[in-house]
A and B are shown apart, each in its own frame.
Chain A
Amino acid sequence: QVQLVQSGAEVKKPGASVKVSCKSSDHTFNSYWMHWVRQAPGQGLEWMGIINPSGDTTMYAQKFQGRVTMTRDTSTSTVYMEMSSLRSEDTAVYYCARGLATRPNYDYFDPWGQGTLVTVSS
C-alpha cells in the first residue's frame, strides 16, 4: 500500500516562507504526477498545483502563481511545496496527493499524505 508521509507542523510569521515535504514509500513514485491541495480551518479543499514525474513541469492555480514553487527529488521519492510571502489567510493544512488518471486532466487523487498544518501568526 502506497503511503505518502509529510513533514511536521510549522509556525511562521507573516512575510516568511515555508517548505513542506512529502515522501513516498513506493518505488513507482517517480512515474506519477503529484498534486498539492490545501484546507483552511473549517473550510473545503482547494487545489494548488501539480508537478510532473521528472520535476521539470509544474502548473499552479492562478491565485498561487508567483508565490508557490513545487519541486521534486526523484532520488529520494520526495516532492516539496514552498510558499513565500505568507499571510494569515495561508493558515491551513497542506496535503500532497498522487494523481491517477486514465487520460490527461482526468486525474483523481489517491492516496493523500497525512497533511501538514502551517500556521501563520505574528
Chain B
Amino acid sequence: QSVLTQPPSVSGAPGQRVTISCTGSSSNIGAGYDVHWYQQLPGTAPKLLIYGNTNRPSGVPDRFSGSKSGTSGSLAITGLQAEDEANYYCQSFDIRLNNWVFGGGTYLTAL
C-alpha cells in the first residue's frame, strides 16, 4: 500500500484533457513538501515530468501541468496524444517515515 494514493488507471480520447490525482496526508504533501511527477513508458526508466508542484523541465511539452492544494497534488494533460500512454507516478517526502515516497502509479490509456 503506497503512502501516496493515485487512481490505478485513467483514460481519455485523443485531444481530450485528463487529470491524475495524488492524495497524501499531513505528514507529506500536507506538511508542505513538494509533489513531483514522472512518466514511465513501457520498458523504460521513469522520466521527470513536473517538479516542485508546477514546474516543467525543458523539453516537456506545455500540455503537461501540475498543481497542489492541501494534502493533494494533480497532474493535468491537455490535448491527449497516443504517445502519452504510460504509467505516471507522483512523489514527495514523508516526515513521519523520514523517507521519500511514491504513489502507486496511474496507467493512462489514450482511447
Question: Which residues of B lie under 8 Å from residue A108 when comparing CB positions?
Answer: 34, 36, 48, 51-52, 91
Instruction: Kindly identify which residue among A35, A47, A114 contacts B101, using a CB–CB cutoff of 8 Å.
Output: A47
B45 within 8 A of A: yes
The answer to whether A59 and B98 touch across the interface, beta carbons within 8 angstroms, is: yes
A29 within 8 A of B: no
Query: When each residue 75-111 of chain B gets 1 if its CB lies under 8 Å from chain A and 0 otherwise, what string results?
Result: 0000000000000010101010111111111000000
| Bound form: Cα–Cα A102–B98 in Å | 18
Beyond A106-B33, A106-B34, is A115–B45 a contact (Cβ under 8 Å)?
Answer: yes
The answer to whether A45 and B105 touch across the interface, beta carbons within 8 angstroms, is: yes
Whole-angstrom distance between the Cβ of A81 and the nearest chain B Cβ: 15
Question: Which residues of B lie under 8 Å from residue A50 when comparing CB positions?
Answer: 100
The answer to whether B47 and A112 touch across the interface, beta carbons within 8 angstroms, is: yes
Question: Which residues of B lie under 8 Å from residue A44 when comparing CB positions?
Answer: 2, 89, 102-105
Instruction: Kindly identify which residue among B2, B45, B46, B100 contacts A107, using a CB–CB cutoff of 8 Å.
Output: B100
Q: Using a CB-CB cutoff of 8 Å, which residues 1-17 of chain B contact chain A?
A: 2
The answer to whether A107 and B103 touch across the interface, beta carbons within 8 angstroms, is: no
Query: When each residue 55-99 of chain A gets 1 if its CB lies under 8 Å from chain B and 0 otherwise, what string results?
Result: 000010110000000000000000000000000000000010000
Beyond A108-B51, A108-B91, is A35–B100 a contact (Cβ under 8 Å)?
Answer: yes
Question: Which residues of B lie under 8 Å from residue A45 when comparing CB positions?
Answer: 38, 46, 89, 91, 102, 105
The answer to whether B33 and A105 touch across the interface, beta carbons within 8 angstroms, is: yes
Instruction: Kindly identify which residue among A105, A112, A115 contacts B93, using a CB–CB cutoff of 8 Å.
Output: A105
The answer to whether B99 and A110 touch across the interface, beta carbons within 8 angstroms, is: no
B98 nearest in chain A by CB position: A59
| Bound form: Cα–Cα A59–B93 in Å | 14
11 sampled A-B residue pairs with Cβ under 8 A: A46-B102, A47-B99, A47-B102, A61-B97, A61-B99, A95-B45, A100-B51, A105-B95, A110-B48, A113-B45, A115-B45
